[in-house]
């Protein structure tokens, strides 16, 4: 089945009881048990719900895995995985990482006696050097947030398998459309479905896929015990979003590719980070494991003053902490997504006060470019970074 067909028919499309063309929202907390001593599939929504089951089957199919799980947010999904490590375990993570994951690791791991190391994800030998006797997990985000750095998934998986270490990836930026880590040997794939998968900035949700039965068992129990599952209404919304994910993303990626290349030429833009750009570090590795640069790019205006002038004049994109909606979204990682990382570490990571992240929506790309260029015209400083004046 080709991708466009899979997005519609990969998971359950019709309600098996009524034939309804949309899986209904089974808005029930509990289910009547005709034979109270006999097991039945659905008993209580925290344990399982038909709308959630449809979403979980759909995401498992899209990620080419066996088992899917739907959580109340991306962070609920990430917690369900990371908090299953035990006292004395060691986990290695990429240093350029979503701020919420950084906070979870640095604040909660010590409480549970779980050790961690952050490594330069772009360098395979730094993953290898960080492996210890007690390393049980490797956690990747590629392309990363916000600098779009690239990790060699196959290389890391090979190392992990050699040392019997579990691999986990946050695949939010690529979506199952452009990167299928399970096919590359990764054990657990996580998504913030709040972003491109739902795609309309109206839901928070997290999804996990694995093909490993033991891991699936643990995740099911964790979801049930922590009660962090996604509710039926939001499952329905995510299922609805998935159907149009490819048509949305084709346009969003086209816009991002166009904007990244144009901004790179602008004299007031110091740098642009986007995997499809010819000078992006790791571009070759990225395109050996993914089929698109994605819809998110980050650019550098050099300092806070320039960012302030720019934000004051931009009209089309909204300014918000999220990404992956049909509307373009600008965000300022320094005080938004990465604010929880101590300033010195943030700066060491390259998350400086001049960085702006843009998640491209489905607007007309020339309207979007003109709006950004107009806002750049209002940036008072007159640096000359680019090759030509737009």
Residue 204 in contact with ligand PLP, rule: CB under 6 A: yes
Is 195 annotated in the active site? yes
Applying the rule CB under 6 A, the residues between 304 and 363 that interact with ligand PLP are 337
Residue 73 in contact with ligand PLP, rule: CB under 6 A: yes
Catalytic member of 152, 170, 187, 300: 170
Is 268 annotated in the active site? no
Stretch that binds ligand PLP, among 68-76, 180-188, 250-258, 300-308 (CB under 6 A): 68-76
Residue 181 in contact with ligand PLP, rule: CB under 6 A: no
Applying the rule CB under 6 A, the residues between 98 and 127 that interact with ligand PLP are 98, 100
Q: How far is the CB of 107 from ligand PLP (least distance, A)?
A: 15
Nearer to ligand PLP, 13 or 336 (CB): 336
Report the DSSP beta bridge partners of residue 189: 169, 209
Nearer to ligand PLP, 182 or 379 (CB): 182
Q: Characterize the bridge pairing of strands 355-359 and 135-141.
A: unpaired
- Give all strands of the β-sheet with 355-359 in edge-to-edge order: 271-273, 296-300, 355-359, 329-331, 318-319
Cα separation values, 135 from 104, 164, 196, 318, Å:
18, 9, 32, 41
Residue 170 in contact with ligand PLP, rule: CB under 6 A: yes
Residue 171 in contact with ligand PLP, rule: CB under 6 A: no
Is 46 annotated in the active site? yes
Q: Is-contact 190 81, C-beta < 8 A? A: yes
- Give CA–CA dist 306/353, Å, rounded: 10
Q: Using CB atoms within 10 A of its CB, is residue 133 exposed (0-12), middle (13-18) or buried (19+)?
A: exposed
Nearer to ligand PLP, 74 or 302 (CB): 74
Residue 294 in contact with ligand PLP, rule: CB under 6 A: no
Residue 206 in contact with ligand PLP, rule: CB under 6 A: yes
- Give CA–CA dist 169/251, Å, rounded: 25
Is 136 annotated in the active site? no
Among 65, 74, 232, 293, binds ligand PLP (CB under 6 A): 74
Stretch that binds ligand PLP, among 70-78, 131-139, 153-161, 349-357 (CB under 6 A): 70-78
Catalytic member of 52, 53, 67, 98: 98
- Give CA–CA dist 119/238, Å, rounded: 33
Residue 192 in contact with ligand PLP, rule: CB under 6 A: yes
Q: Is-contact 196 324, C-beta < 8 A? A: yes
Nearer to ligand PLP, 60 or 197 (CB): 197
Active-site residue set:
46, 98, 170, 195
Which residues contact ligand PLP by CB under 6 A? 73-75, 98, 100, 141, 145, 170, 172, 192, 194, 204, 206, 337
């Amino acid at each position: 089945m080709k991708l466009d067909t899979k997005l519609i028919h990969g998971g359950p499309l019709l309600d098996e009881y009524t034939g309804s063309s949309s899986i209904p929202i089974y808005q029930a907390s509990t289910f009547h048990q005709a034979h109270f001593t006999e097991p039945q599939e659905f008993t209580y929504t925290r344990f399982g719900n038909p709308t959630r089951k449809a979403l979980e089957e759909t995401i498992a199919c899209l990620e080419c895995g066996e088992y899917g799980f739907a959580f109340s947010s991306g962070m609920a999904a990430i917690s369900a995985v990371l908090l299953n490590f035990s006292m004395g375990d060691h986990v290695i993570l990429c240093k350029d990482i979503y701020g919420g994951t950084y906070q979870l690791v640095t604040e909660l791991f010590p409480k549970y006696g779980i050790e961690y190391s952050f490594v330069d994800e772009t360098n395979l030998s730094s993953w290898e050097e960080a492996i210890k006797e007690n390393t049980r997990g490797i956690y990747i985000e590629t392309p990363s947030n916000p600098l779009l750095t690239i990790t060699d998934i196959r290389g890391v998986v090979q190392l992990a398998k050699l040392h019997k270490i579990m691999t986990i990836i946050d695949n939010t930026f690529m979506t199952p459309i452009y990167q299928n880590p399970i096919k590359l040997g990764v054990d657990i794939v996580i998504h913030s479905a709040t972003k491109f998968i739902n795609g309309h900035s109206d839901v928070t949700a997290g999804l996990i896929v694995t093909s490993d039965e033991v891991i699936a068992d643990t995740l099911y129990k964790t979801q049930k015990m922590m009660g962090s599952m996604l509710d039926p209404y939001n499952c329905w919304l995510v299922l609805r979003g998935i159907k149009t994910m490819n048509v949305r993303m084709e346009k969003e990626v086209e816009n991002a590719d166009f904007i990244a290349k144009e901004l790179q030429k602008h004299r007031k833009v110091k740098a642009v980070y986007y995997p499809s750009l010819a000078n992006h570090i790791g571009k070759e590795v990225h395109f050996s494991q993914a089929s698109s640069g994605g819809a998110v790019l980050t650019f550098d205006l050099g300092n806070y003053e320039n960012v302030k002038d720019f934000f004051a004049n931009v009209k089309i994109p909204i300014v918000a902490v999220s990404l992956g909606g049909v509307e373009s979204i600008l965000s300022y990682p320094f005080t938004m997504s990465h604010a929880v990382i101590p300033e010195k570490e943030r700066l060491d990571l390259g998350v400086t006060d001049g960085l702006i992240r843009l998640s491209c929506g489905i607007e007309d790309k020339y309207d979007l470019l003109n709006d950004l260029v107009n806002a750049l015209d209002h940036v008072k400083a007159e640096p000359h970074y680019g090759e030509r004046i737009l």
